[in-house]
Amino acid sequence: MKAIWFSLDISLDQLNEHGQHTMGSHLGMEFTEIGPDYLRAMMPVDARTVQPYRLLHGGASAALAETVGSMASGLIIDPEKQICVGLEINANHIRGVREGYVHAVAKPLHIGSSTHVWDIRITDDEERLVCVSRLTVAILPKR
C-alpha cells in the first residue's frame, strides 16, 4: 500500500517532540506508530484523564481522538503552503476504562483538498473498543 503522507521522512520522536507543551503532552499522550494509512497514539488512564467515578473521562477520549486525527492531517498537507484545524468532532463512548492505557488509531475516510475526515477507534490494553470518533479537519492556505 502506498503511504498517504506528504513526507515519508518523519519519525515518532519528531511527532512526540512536536506535541510538547500542548494538551496532548499534559495528558500523557504519545504517538506510537505511523502506518502507510494510519497514525496510532496512546494515553494513560490516570488522575489527569479520569472523571470523579475514576473512569476515563469522555473529554479525554475526545482530546486523544482530535490529537491523533489532527496530527494525521498535518502529515498529509504541505506545511509550507497549508495549515489544518479541527472543524467538527463527535465521540461515542462504548466502554469504561479504569486503568492502563487507551490506544487510538486514526484512519482516513476522506482526504480532499479542503477537508479531511478521520475515523478514530480507541481501544483499551485488551483491544476492546472504548470509543468511536469521527473528526473533520479543515485544510486552509497558510498566510
120: nearest Cα among 83, 90, 75? 90
Q: What is the pLDDT of residues 33-88, one digit of tens each?
A: 999 999 999 999 999 999 999 999 999 999 999 999 999 999 999 999 999 999 99
Domain ranges of the chain: 12-141
Residue 80 burial (10 A CB sphere; 0-12, 13-18, 19+): exposed
The fold adopted by the segment(s) 12-141 is Thiol Ester Dehydrase; Chain A (3.10.129)
Choosing from 30, 33, 66, 80, the catalytic residue is 66
Task: pLDDT band for 9, please (50, 70, 90 cuts).
Answer: confident
66 as an active site residue: the answer is yes
Task: pLDDT band for 18, please (50, 70, 90 cuts).
Answer: very high
Q: What is the pLDDT of residues 88-105, one digit of tens each?
A: 999 999 999 999 999 999
DSSP 26-88: HTT-EEEEE-SS-EEEEEE-STTTB-TTSSBPHHHHHHHHHHHHHHHHHHHS-TTTEEEEEEE
Give pLDDT, residue 83.
97
